[in-house]
Amino acid sequence: MFNNSIPTFKFLSYRRLQAGSLCPMGCNEDEYLHHISNSCSKIKDVFGHLNNWGFAIISCHSFADRCSWLEKKSSFIINLFCSTIYLSWKNRCEMVFGKTGKSPLSITTEAIGIASSLVICNHQNSGQLVVNQQDLLYKSWHPPPPDWIKFNVDASLLCSYKGGVGGVCHDHRGRLLLAFGRSCVHWDIAHLELLAIKTINEVFKDWMLEYNGIIIEGDNINIIKLIHKKIKAGMEGMEYLSFTKNFNHVICNWVNRDSNKLADLCANYAILSSFD
């Protein structure tokens, strides 16, 4: 980025590798370094969510101004800004190549989670910030944004068809608010993974309605895709997610199994006995 070698459309157009220089996100502006880090409509939407949650990411007139602004900020804000730009650029590239892009809200929550995990890594390594170990970031549990809660759910199934579903709920400070598990008998692990999400409706508490948003995470990508499909279809047949109607924001994410270990522990324990 500092060498101005990011393959933006203006960069590629100058080298005659791209027909046009306009931002592919529909901004009607040339896509160059300052644009992707400050003035693109998509990045502005993400900054808008961050500002609504109190992070105060200001608009800058140039990339140099942005660097000057970052010099005065804490390591967390610097990590948050860089994570936001990285995820937004990654999302932009996926959309350019025909994939479905993430919403600004989803990018915002993921950026906050990565920035938070970097602070934890920094503390654990006595000042040695782990900035290049992406595997570590994506195998770490990320807290939700301020005033949100996050449910992680999982299922476990033995060859005897005895199974368990379980999950945990945390707030943005990483505090454990709730843990639950249910014993069950079934032959299909996918059914149990969906049952784990349905069980949230059983253990949901009234005091959770004080939070602005909710994130539900699981490590079965097919179930997460199914829920996304149902949501786009108007939540038909999704009565088990009726509690989500009480939140301003709802996100359902797939996560790596290594990011879901506590929920997996609850699911395995639930094989022996239900609990909450």
Kindly report, residue by residue over 97-129, the tens digit of the pLDDT. 888 888 888 888 788 877 765 544 444 443 433
pLDDT at 137 over 70: no
Q: What is the pLDDT of residue 28?
A: 82
Kindly report, residue by residue over 226-246, the tens digit of the pLDDT. 888 877 776 666 777 888 888
Kindly report, residue by residue over 249-268, the tens digit of the pLDDT. 888 888 888 889 889 999 99
pLDDT, average across residues 69-82: 87
Report d(CA 231, CA 200) in Å as an integer: 17
What is the model's pTM?
Answer: 0.60
pLDDT at 130 over 80: no
CB contact burial 86-108 (16+ within 10 A = b; e otherwise):
bbbbebbeeeeeeeebbebbbbb
Q: What is the pLDDT of residue 124?
A: 43
Q: Which residue has the higher pLDDT, 24 or 160?
A: 160
Q: Which fold has domain 148-270?
A: Nucleotidyltransferase; domain 5 (3.30.420)
Q: What is the pLDDT of residue 162?
A: 94
pLDDT band at 8 (very low <50, low <70, confident <90, very high): confident
Q: Considering only CA atoms, give the Rg of the chain.
A: 21
Kindly report, residue by residue over 156-209, the tens digit of the pLDDT. 999 999 999 999 999 988 888 999 999 999 999 999 999 999 999 999 999 999
Report d(CA 134, CA 114) in Å as an integer: 10
- Positive or negative torsion for Cα 233, 260, 114, 173: positive
Residue-range domain boundaries for the chain: 9-138, 148-270
How many other C-beta atoms lie within 10 A of the C-beta of residue 207? 8
Q: What is the largest CA-CA distance in the chain?
A: 65
Using a 10 angstrom Cβ sphere, with 0-12 exposed, 13-18 middle and 19 or more buried, the burial of residue 130 is: middle
pLDDT band at 154 (very low <50, low <70, confident <90, very high): very high
Q: What is the pLDDT of residue 170?
A: 92
Given a contact cutoff of 8 angstroms between Cβ atoms, the answer to whether 179 and 167 are in contact is: yes
Which pair of structure tokens corresponds to residue 45?
């939407």
Mean pLDDT value across the chain: 82
Q: What is the pLDDT of residue 129?
A: 39
Q: What is the pLDDT of residue 168?
A: 93
